[in-house]
Structure 1
């Protein structure tokens, strides 16, 4: 079984969502995948290109770390993707670096990402 390389969301903050968290506020569903890791990574990159002020900071064969910057105040949010080949899932974590509440910005971002990913 693959080990997801990112942390759980902090339990005392509401500025993070993740596929590995079990609490209802932080929990999002992973994306089932049937394509090769290479194709999944290609779809991730294409979907990310639809977002403004986004930069991939790290990439390995099964992992991508992107940083999203907010338009006006330039706050940075980290979004991580992990391709779990064993379970055929794309795991995701999206978290704000600052603050305690994000007005569901991370959840909305991932919902939009999922829509884009599925359309490819």
Structure 2
């Protein structure tokens, strides 16, 4: 590949990553939007093993848990919370190098059980593979949340 082709190709990738608008996400019929048929997304509502990730289930009040999730997301690098509603939070994570955006959603449905379920979706806006970045990000958030929750319950 000659240099001009490399420059054009690299520029195209960079501009594509920056130009993609936020997808139409959210909660519909009590579930988060399903993942596309690409290995760059995880979803706790998925029936597909490659996309499935366990929801976070924790004891506590939904509003306090939502606040903790927002705090954790805000502490992570290259993150921005874009939507906070009564039972829903959406955030964007932007990659350093190419500026690609991943959308992360947290849904807190009403339940009659003592525990609060946090359903999760994390997916790349562009590309095919994410090298497991979305799954690892959610597991990092899960660990931080569990540590925060343990330290909070010990101080009570």
TM-score, normalised by the number of residues in structure 2? 0.71
Q: Which structure has greater helix proportion?
A: 2
* Residue 39 in structure 1 maps to residue 64 in structure 2: yes
What does residue 58 of structure 1 align with? Answer: 83
Report the Cα offset of residue 33 of structure 1.
2.4
Question: Which secondary structure state, in structure 2, belongs to the residue aligned with residue 90 of structure 1?
Answer: strand
CA distance in 1, matches of 2:60, 2:86: 14
Q: What runs of 5+ residues in structure 2 fail to find an aligned partner?
A: 1-28, 149-156
Q: Name the counterpart of 2:14.
A: none
Larger Cα-atom Rg: 2
Paired residues in the alignment total: 117
**Cα RMSD between the aligned structures?**
1.3
Q: Distance in 1 between matches of 2:58 and 2:109?
A: 9
When normalised by structure 1's length, the TM-score is 0.92
> CA shift at 1:39, angstroms?
0.8
Looking at structure 2, the residues matched to 90 and 9 of structure 1 have their Cα atoms a distance apart, in angstroms, of 17
Q: Which runs of 5+ in 1 are unaligned?
A: none
Residue range with higher mean Cα deviation, 22-31 or 79-88: 79-88
